[in-house]
Every structure is written in C-alpha cells, then in structure tokens.
Chains A and B, each alone.
Chain A
Amino acid sequence: MLIEKSSDWKEGFIERLENRQSWDSWTLYKMSYDIAKQNLITDFSGLQSLKYVPTVTPLAHQLEVAERVIEEMNGKAILADEVGLGKTIEAGLILKEYMIRGLVKKALILAPASLVNQWVEELHQKFHIPAMLYKKNYELDYVDVVVMSLDTAKRSPHKEKIYAQDYDLIIVDEAHKLKNHKTISYTFVQNLKKKFCLLLTATPIQNDVFELFYLVTLLKQGHLGNYDSFTSVFSGSKRDVDQDNYLKELVNQVMVRNRRQDTGVKWTNRQVQVVPVEFTAEERDVYQLLSELKHVSPVFSDAFSTMTLQREMCSSQEATLGTLKKLYAECSTSEELAYVNDVIQRLDMLDIHSKAEKAVEIILNANDKVILFTEYRGTQNYLHEYFHSKGISSVIFNGKLSKNSREWIKHLFKQNAQVLIATESGAEGINLQFCHHVINYDLPWNPMKLEQRIGRVHRLGQEHDVHIYNLAIQQTIEDHILDVLQGKIGIFEKVVGELDDILATNY
C-alpha cells in the first residue's frame, strides 16, 4: 500500500521550537480541529456535495444518477436523460462531489460555443465552482476548471495546450457531436486522458447503432468489444431480440438514461401529429421538373443535389432558388441553360407556398406563441415576410447570432413576437418553457434533431400540453423522410430504450 506523507508541518514545528516563528492561538487551533472534524468525509459512499450546495434542490432522479455514476460506474458514464431533465445539474453534482473529495482538482468542460456561457454561470451560481471561460492566450496552468467550446479546443494551438495539462475530469456536453469517429473532434477527445469522464447527450443514437458503439468506445475502449466483433454480432440483418437485449444491458452499464415519465415529476402531455400538405398543381409541376433535372444535365446528376432541390422545394421557392441559381452557373450547353431557366421562371411565378399557408393556418388556430423550425435560411426570410403580410409578428433566430443578440431575440419572442422562426443550430440549448406549440416546417433526416427541437419547450417548467406539428408534403421526398425517421426511431428504441413521441402520438 502506498502511503504518502508530507513533512511541511514538521518543518514549521521545528521553526517554532527554535523560536524563529511565533506560536498560534489556541482558539484557532481548536476551531481548526472542530472544522476538520465536522467536514470529515467519513464514508466512501454517499453524496457530500448536497451540504455544499444548499441553493440547489436536485430531483430524485438527478441524485440517483450522481450516486450511480460515482459508486457503480467509477466516474465514467454517458448521461443520456431525455432532453430537459437537467443533465447539467447531474454533471455539476458529480463534479462538485469529486472536487470535495479531492479526487478532481482540474476539470475540462467541452460544450458547443452557444452553451459555454451558460455552463460557466451555472457552475458559479449553483455549485460555487470557480469555472473560467477559456480565452485565447490563457495560461491553463492557473485555471482549475475551464469551459471551452469543442470547436476551439480541438484546434491548434489550443489542443496542444490542453494536452499539456493533466485533467482529472472531462465533461463533454452535447456529446452526440462525437458520433463520427473519423472527425477531428472524436480523435481529439479520444486522446485526452480520461481519469473520470462524463458524456452528456439526450440522443446517443442518431442514425445507426455504430454511433453508440463509437461513443461507448470513446468512454471505455473495449466495453462493446472491438469493431470486428461488434459488427459481426450487432449489425446487419442477423440481429435478433436476444442480442438487442444483451447489447442494451451492456450499454446500461456505462449509460444512465431517465425518461420524463420515470422522474416522479408530473409532465404535461405531448400531442404530436403529422400534418399532410398537398402541393398545388403548379408546385407539383415544378417539383417534377426539379426531379427530372438529373436527366437533363450532368451538373445535377448526383443524387445529393436532386434530393436537396426536392427538399428545398418542399420548403420554399426562396430556398430552392438559392441552390438552383448556384447550379445554373455551372451549366454550359444552351439546352441545359434553357431548361433550368424555365424552371427558375416557373418558380418565380408561383404563388404562396402551400406549406406556408398551412403554417399560417396552424399559427392562427393556436392563437399563442409558436416556434417554427426550418432547415433553410431562405425559408426563414420568406416566412418572416409572409407572416408579416398576414399580420403575424415573428422574429428570426439562427446560428449566426451573437450571444447578446440571442438573448435579445429570445426576449423579443417572449415579450412581443408571436412566432420564433428558428434553424437547428440557432436553437441549441435555449429554454423556452413559456411556449408550447412547435411546428416542424421541414423534417430533418435525423429523429433526434426533432427530439432536441421539442426539448426546447417540453422540459422542466412547462405547464401546458405541448403541441407538435410535423408538416409533410404528400407524394414527395418527405414521405420517404418520414419512413427513414420511423426506422431510426425503431433502432434507438431497441438498443437504448423507449422514446417519447416524436413523429406522431399513438392513441
């Protein structure tokens, strides 16, 4: 057994014996002993941190997570509670506990740029942890708890500065950003020493089961076997229920996931519906022409551009025109140019987009605050203008806004505007419990993006039932997207666990 001793006290004692320093006060001596006795950690298990954070009242499920991660999982875990259950509180409790117990001195928190300020504030206010926001030219030697955006951290020279430190705990927020093992982010985190490590994500699987494999492997190499053995057992068509259950069990050894309904907190309901929309005859013509483009010119021959145009056509003329004009510039023969030109003309002549009309109908019916998510900036502007013409006030929210503007727009939405028109990246991490209508104007390929969107409003503090409208134009690529979404939800539920309704409420 390794026993470490320090001789600091002995040296001080000798100085006093030799009258080189004066003796201390008996009262302070006794006080010091009493404090030490009172603050003594007498047990290996249990949470000390609660005494230290009297302003935080964690919910039962948050306490359970903190205890389980520390006592059973040895401080290495994926925290995968559903959106809005307070993963930050759980991570804060665990960090605080380790700091009190002296097991963590230095900690690194990696979060999306839009959330770093929130982390610093919460750690200060709720947990009294002196976290610092990383700034360029910072000397990391003198900062014990640092919050950084993952995108900054993974690049030189920051990367090297981090590797030179010796962090005891690494926290990665929105860890689904590490799903792809070929990215710089993944490699960066892989090469960090992880004495203790927390990966926070509500959506550990977004598309396929390999994302979970790589996430778990990042945390604990070998836990799901190596790539070959994993592939041979869990991928492809050979999978059966037994294997899924086995995988689930393995995953649960390193992952904690609370669902809203298990929390003991009363949750409002989610009313989710797919709202079918019909194209007008003119719109359908244009959609057909766009789908034919791949036969007209090699510029459009890859499946991706066709699909992009189709999806954009399901969103707005503006979104479609942007891409189409770019590709037009690449066309060369007069035949191609004429065809594309014709499509552009027709697009210009189209009336109000059918989906936009449907959106207005929903907003007027709701007669309340609404968040509308779209995938395209062009559509954002288009809807903003169209809503304005209908007398509906709206504000635009996207990833290009600065921190201050984000707060300002959020404020405007709360106070004045009826509709917040947001893109995915814009809405990350913001909490809007005062609103309970969400329109998914465009559907993403990834069901977890929908879950993240809904999570902006369906979280602790929501007092009303939440209404979700998923708009899909019939007989277009959006039918296909709905199928894909359904399939991915199926995989998630088999391996990770049940999901709250995302696409439609099952009655």
Chain B
Amino acid sequence: MYPQQIHEYLRQFFNENKCPIINENEHYLNIQLTIDMDKKIMNRPFYWKYIESVNETPNPAQITLITDIQQLKEGVKGEVVHFGSPRLHQLFRVTKEMGSFVKMYEQVHSAPDGQMILTPWLGVNYKISYCSHQTKETLYSLGINLMTGAVFQEFQERLTKLDLVKDSPEQVFNLPYIITPVRALDRLDAVVDQMVREEDQTWAEEAKKRWQKDQAVLDYFYEGQDEKPECYEIEKNAMEERFKPRITIEVLNGGLFYLIGDHARSQMHK
C-alpha cells in the first residue's frame, strides 16, 4: 500500500467511525477519538475502568498519524504509520471486526410502473488458506439467490457497482425468502468446499514428497533401534506440523442483500 492509499484508508476509517479529524494535510492526520474507538485501539482498560467507576468526565485520546514522513515538512510529531506498522494492522483488524455483517437494500430512484420488487440474496466472502510448509490464499465471493438457489461468483464485485442503502426504500416490496439464510449459508459452504476440492493439488503432493523424504532420513538415523528415544517422536511430530497439507476456510464477511432483479433492472434502463 502506498502512503496515499494508507492516508485515504485512515480518513475513511475515522470518518466512518465518527472520529473528527481536527487537523490534516496530505501527509498526516490529527484525530479526536470517540470513547468507543479509544477503548478499541488505545489499549488502556484500567483508565476506562477507573473513569467509569468514579463517574468522571471521560477524556478520549487524540492521535496524530503520519502517513508520509518523507514528505512531511510541518514538524508534526506523531506515530508514523506505514504498511507493516502495528497500528495500521490493528486498524485492519478493527475494520474486519466492525465490517462483518450487513443487511443492505438496493436504492430505487424511480419505480417505473408502480411498485418495485427486491429479491433477497445471501452474499458471503470466503478466504481460503492453503498451508503446508508454505502458504497461499484466495478469496471467493459467492452470492446465492434466496428465491431460486442460483449461485454466482464474484458477487462482491457486482455489489460494489450498485447503490446500496441501509434502510429499505419506500414503495418497494421485499420478497420474503424461500430458502432461509442459514440454509443458504450451508449451501454456499458446500459450494466452496467443492470448489476447493476440485482445485489443483500439486502443492499438497509436493509437500507430501518433501515430508516422506525427511521421514526417510530420520528413520535411517534410528535404523535398528527398537526403542526410539523421545527426540525421535518430537521430530516426527514437528515434521507433521511442518508438511501436513491442510486448508482452512474462513468467512471474511457476508450479509443479506435485497436487490433489483436483473429483468427489472434491464427494464428500468430502457
């Protein structure tokens, strides 16, 4: 991430969390934290416990984040934030935590012939990690139509093109789902599972080959010993941890989406 990207990210993050930006230029931000944000990121539980127990006026912190120290000429003092700095990754974690579940409606500006119908969807973003002695990750963004059960890939990319709002627009009819969201989630889980199983497994075979080779070397070392010492078992277990291929599937985030149907959309644009 470039300094400008980080700067933009931070602005957006604090704006979205209602933390006023007191001072800034392109290379730094001075932010007044809210009480909630202070509790989340300043790591001072004892202060908050004390303030709350004596009922004193809370004084949430102000922080200054410098996003481009090289360009900064103003002599501002603060925390230098760059990709890899603990502060930025803490904010990434907070973002993930606070952006996990949504329920959104597509905005309807004009209903051409009376009432507009919105179709319910479940969208889920999956992060897949492939681990052995090395790792790789992929993202799958899936959406399932809760009326028909049809599944689409790259769902998030579709969503970001739409105008979505938190509250249902007036004069629309939100179809009640036929497939419950929980059942739909199970269905998507199964789809991801299937996709993962059908992928290229060369990496796992490669890991197993290395594992077998190392195991053979270890066994050779203890050849002829019936009673193997403890460090044989330790090494054997370490080897399993190192090489055993495994895949973890994690839901990054997901939500319910009420969207204009494709048919209706095409009509709207006529």
Contacts of A35 in B (CB 8 A): 9, 92, 95-96
Q: Digitize B140-168: 1 where CB-to-A-CB distance is under 8 Å, 0 elsewhere.
A: 01000000000000001000100010100
Q: Among A4, A32, A45, A190, point to the contact of B246 (Cβ < 8 A).
A: A4
* Stretch from A221-229, A305-313, A462-470 that touches the partner: A221-229
Contacts of A168 in B (CB 8 A): 241
In Å, the complex CA distance between A196 and B132 comes to: 12
Contact A223:B217 (CB < 8 A) given known A40-B137, A44-B134: yes
Q: Among B103, B125, B135, point to the contact of A103 (Cβ < 8 A).
A: B135
**Residues A195 and B181 in contact, CB atoms below 8 Å apart:** no
Q: Is A295 an interface residue (CB 8 A)?
A: no
Nearest-neighbour CB distance to chain B for A163, whole angstroms, equals 10
Q: Digitize A1-29: 1 where CB-to-B-CB distance is under 8 Å, 0 elsewhere.
A: 11111101110111011000101111111
**Residues B99 and A28 in contact, CB atoms below 8 Å apart:** yes
* Stretch from A68-76, A239-247, A324-332, A385-393 that touches the partner: A68-76
* Stretch from A49-57, A267-275, A369-377 that touches the partner: A49-57
Q: Digitize B198-216: 1 where CB-to-A-CB distance is under 8 Å, 0 elsewhere.
A: 0001011000001000100
In Å, the complex CA distance between A222 and B193 comes to: 39
Interface residues of B in 60-103 (CB under 8 A from A): 82-86, 92, 95-96, 98-103
Complex: chain A residue closest to B15, CB-CB: A27
Contacts of B84 in A (CB 8 A): 51-54, 128
* Stretch from B28-36, B43-51, B218-226, B258-266 that touches the partner: B218-226
Q: Is B52 an interface residue (CB 8 A)?
A: no
Q: Is A136 an interface residue (CB 8 A)?
A: no
In Å, the complex CA distance between A495 and B255 comes to: 62
Q: Is A415 an interface residue (CB 8 A)?
A: no
Q: Among B129, B133, B185, point to the contact of A102 (Cβ < 8 A).
A: B129
Q: Is B127 an interface residue (CB 8 A)?
A: yes
Q: Is A33 an interface residue (CB 8 A)?
A: yes
Nearest-neighbour CB distance to chain A for B137, whole angstroms, equals 5
**Residues A29 and B182 in contact, CB atoms below 8 Å apart:** no
* Stretch from B19-27, B109-117, B230-238 that touches the partner: B230-238
Interface residues on B, range: 35 or more
Q: Is A399 an interface residue (CB 8 A)?
A: no
**Residues A29 and B255 in contact, CB atoms below 8 Å apart:** yes
Nearest-neighbour CB distance to chain A for B162, whole angstroms, equals 11
In Å, the complex CA distance between A381 and B164 comes to: 81
In Å, the complex CA distance between A130 and B43 comes to: 15
**Residues B104 and A26 in contact, CB atoms below 8 Å apart:** yes
Contact A26:B102 (CB < 8 A) given known A36-B127, A53-B84: yes
**Residues A40 and B139 in contact, CB atoms below 8 Å apart:** yes
**Residues A5 and B249 in contact, CB atoms below 8 Å apart:** yes
Contacts of B185 in A (CB 8 A): 10, 13
Contacts of B234 in A (CB 8 A): 191-194
Candidate in B101, B203, B219 with the most chain A CB atoms within 10 angstroms: B101
**Residues A24 and B95 in contact, CB atoms below 8 Å apart:** no
Q: Is A43 an interface residue (CB 8 A)?
A: yes
Complex: chain B residue closest to A50, CB-CB: B84
Q: Among B138, B214, B221, B250, point to the contact of A42 (Cβ < 8 A).
A: B138
**Residues B235 and A221 in contact, CB atoms below 8 Å apart:** yes
Nearest-neighbour CB distance to chain A for B32, whole angstroms, equals 19
Q: Is A38 an interface residue (CB 8 A)?
A: yes
**Residues A71 and B134 in contact, CB atoms below 8 Å apart:** yes
**Residues A221 and B137 in contact, CB atoms below 8 Å apart:** no
Q: Is A101 an interface residue (CB 8 A)?
A: yes
Contacts of A2 in B (CB 8 A): 244-247
Q: Is B270 an interface residue (CB 8 A)?
A: no
Contact A13:B92 (CB < 8 A) given known A40-B139, A43-B136: no
Q: Digitize B165-201: 1 where CB-to-A-CB distance is under 8 Å, 0 elsewhere.
A: 0100000000000000110010001000100110001
Q: Is A238 an interface residue (CB 8 A)?
A: no
Q: Is A30 an interface residue (CB 8 A)?
A: yes
**Residues B102 and A23 in contact, CB atoms below 8 Å apart:** yes
- What number of A-B contacts does a CB cutoff of 8 Å give? 206
Contact A30:B101 (CB < 8 A) given known A3-B247, A6-B250, A13-B185: no
Contacts of B250 in A (CB 8 A): 5-6, 9
Q: How many A residues, CB 8 Å from partner?
A: 66
Q: Is A400 an interface residue (CB 8 A)?
A: no
Candidate in B133, B189, B197 with the most chain A CB atoms within 10 angstroms: B133
Contacts of A24 in B (CB 8 A): 98-102, 253
**Residues B139 and A32 in contact, CB atoms below 8 Å apart:** no
In Å, the complex CA distance between A471 and B203 comes to: 57
Q: Is B37 an interface residue (CB 8 A)?
A: no
Complex: chain A residue closest to B141, CB-CB: A33
**Residues A4 and B247 in contact, CB atoms below 8 Å apart:** yes
**Residues B252 and A36 in contact, CB atoms below 8 Å apart:** yes
Q: Is A266 an interface residue (CB 8 A)?
A: no
Q: Among A1, A25, A38, point to the contact of B1 (Cβ < 8 A).
A: A38
In Å, the complex CA distance between A52 and B85 comes to: 7
Candidate in A4, A9, A37, A168 with the most chain B CB atoms within 10 angstroms: A9
Q: Is B242 an interface residue (CB 8 A)?
A: yes
**Residues B251 and A9 in contact, CB atoms below 8 Å apart:** yes
**Residues A31 and B252 in contact, CB atoms below 8 Å apart:** no
Complex: chain A residue closest to B216, CB-CB: A222
**Residues B135 and A44 in contact, CB atoms below 8 Å apart:** yes
Complex: chain A residue closest to B233, CB-CB: A193
Q: Is A106 an interface residue (CB 8 A)?
A: no
Contacts of A401 in B (CB 8 A): none
Contact A195:B98 (CB < 8 A) given known A4-B246, A4-B248, A31-B9: no
Contacts of A159 in B (CB 8 A): none
In Å, the complex CA distance between A9 and B250 comes to: 8
Contacts of A6 in B (CB 8 A): 248, 250-251
Complex: chain B residue closest to A75, CB-CB: B133
Given pairs A9-B254, A130-B86, A225-B220, 7 additional interface contacts (CB within 8 A): A5-B189, A12-B100, A40-B138, A43-B136, A44-B136, A71-B134, A103-B133
Can you report 21 residue pairs joining A to B where beta carbons are below 8 Å apart? A3-B248, A3-B249, A5-B189, A5-B249, A6-B250, A9-B100, A9-B253, A12-B100, A13-B101, A23-B166, A25-B99, A27-B12, A29-B100, A30-B99, A32-B100, A36-B125, A37-B139, A44-B203, A74-B242, A74-B243, A225-B221
